[in-house]
Amino acid sequence: MTQTRYMNPYLAGVGLGLVLLAAYVLMGRGLGASGAFTSVVAAGVNTVAPMHARSSAFYKEYLPENASPFKDWLVFEVAGVIVGGLISGLLAGRVKRSIDRGPQISVSMRLTFAFAGGAIMGFGSKLARGCTSGQALTGGAVLSVGSWTFMLAVFAAAYAFAYFVKKQWVGG
């Protein structure tokens, strides 16, 4: 199966930037990702323990009856992200069942790291009020001090911690 090469990074960056600009021009708000997953988590908590969800200052903001229109907007946007990612993957011949990992790490270790990393990141994204989409890109483009602080902290911590998980990604 032949795979299409990845797009030139600057070209892909201009594409993403224009998508973000379109969100601003149309809606006056930017993009997001972690917010939509928070809506999913809040809906899950509300199904299992509705009293608990409704009494929580955190979850109740994401429940349909209280959520701001922008939270619904993010859920639709992320639904689009899933479709868009699939379209690009299919067109490039890159959709296949696989596990991305370095040459020196076992599947079970890679999946353990993926779970732990995901959990740490999920927690961090809530503390920072957003992720690479909702803070770094969206807030970065309008020069938000908090967003730039977040972005620099992400890069600094990832570089500082990279040594400890090196085996997971690179050989040698």
Partner 1 sequence: MAPFYQFGFFGEETGLSFAFVIGIGFGYFLERAGFGSSTKLAAQFYGRDLTVFKVMFTAIITAMLGLFWLAWMGILDLSRISVLPTYFVPQLVGGLIFGIGFVMGGYCPGTCAVASVTGKMDGWVHLVGMMVGILTFGELYPVLDIFYNSSAMGELSLDTLLGIPYGTAVFLLVVLALAGFYLAETIERRLAPMKPGS
- 106-165 binders of partner 1 (CB under 8 A): 110-111, 113-162, 165
Report, in Å, the least distance between residue 1 CB and partner 1.
13
Among 12, 50, 66, 104, binds partner 1 (CB under 8 A): 12
Please, which residue, 16 or 66, has the CB nearer to partner 1? 16
Joined tokens for residue 44: 């899950």
**Quick check: 88 binds partner 1 (CB under 8 A)?**
yes
Q: Tell me: does residue 66 bind partner 1 (CB under 8 A).
A: no
Please name which of 124, 118, 123, 110 lies closest in space to residue 165, comparing C-alpha atoms: 110
Q: Does 42 help bind partner 1 (rule: CB under 8 A)?
A: yes
Q: Is 55 left (phi over 0), alpha (psi -120 to 50) or beta?
A: alpha
User: Considering beta carbons, is residue 66 or 116 the nearer one to partner 1?
Assistant: 116
Q: How many other β-carbons are positioned within 10 Å of the β-carbon of residue 168?
A: 17
Under the criterion CB under 8 A, does residue 46 sit at the interface with partner 1? no
Q: Are 171 and 102 in contact (CB under 8 A)?
A: yes
Contact 35, 74 (CB under 8 A): yes
49 touches partner 1 by CB under 8 A: no
Q: Which of 50, 64, 66, 87 binds partner 1 (CB under 8 A)?
A: 87
Residues 6+ apart with CB under 8 A from 152: none
Give the HSE-up count for residue 24: Cα atoms under 13 Å, Cβ half-sphere. 13
- Residue 43 sits in the site that holds partner 1 (CB under 8 A): no
Q: How far is the CB of 98 from partner 1 (least distance, A)?
A: 6
Taking the C-alpha atoms of residue 138 and residue 24, their distance in angstroms, rounded to an integer, is: 9
Q: Which of 21, 50, 66, 104 binds partner 1 (CB under 8 A)?
A: 21
Between 3 and 66, whose beta carbon lies closer to partner 1? 3
